[in-house]
Each structure stands twice: as C-alpha cells, then as structure tokens.
Amino acid sequence: MEKEERTAEAAGYEGEITAENLWTVIVSLQGKVFYTSKKLPFTYTVRGGELFTDRRDRSVTRSTFERALEKIRSDPAIKGPKKLNVYGAPYVWAILKTVGAVPSEKEEPKGQG
C-alpha cells in the first residue's frame, strides 16, 4: 500500500501542532484517506466542530481531539489509540499521528494497536 505524506506541512501549516491550530489542520485534510493502526482506510468530513468518518455514524468533536492531544503530550505511557480513552480513538490517533502531533517514539509496535 502506497503511503502519501500527510503532515501539517502538507496541509499548508509549518510549525508545531497546538490545540489552537490543530482543528485548522484537520479541516484542511478532510476527504483524504487515512489509516487506523489496524490498517483500515477511512476518510472524514468536518461540519462545524464535529468530524464524521465514513466508517461510523457518530461524530468526534473538536474538544475530543484537543483532549487527546493533551493526553498524548502529558502521558508518556500513551503509545496507541486504546490508551487515549476517548470516543473514536482509532480515528483520533490516526489523524493526530498523520499530522505529526504524535511523536514517533510514541508509535506502537505493529500488531499492538
């Protein structure tokens, strides 16, 4: 499977991902294909402060992404979506990882997510 580079830089943003600029980056990447830790492809659309994936009927809110980002930055034990303990964790993790908000040392070994 060919993996395209999808980072904050690819979305036209240069610099560190923060709670303030995270949603702007997420909005700019809607419609692109992302992959969960289990390699399931998904796309999403954003309506207001909610993100809707093509794999779920319920939305993931902007505040959920902000909480997940804070958890990732404050807890070194979080190395995959299960530890995030937020709704839509596989999608939240995949998006945060893709935009560069998850440090590479936080990535789980294959088969653990």
Least confident of 27-31, 37-41, 43-47, 107-111: 107-111
41 in helix, strand or coil?
strand
pLDDT single digits (tens) 13-22: 667 889 899 9
pTM higher than 0.75: yes
Which residue in this structure is represented by tokens 């990447």?
Answer: 29
> What secondary structure does DSSP assign to 68-100, as a single string?
HHHHHHH-TT--SGGGG-STTHHHHHHHHHHTT
Domain locations along the chain? 19-102
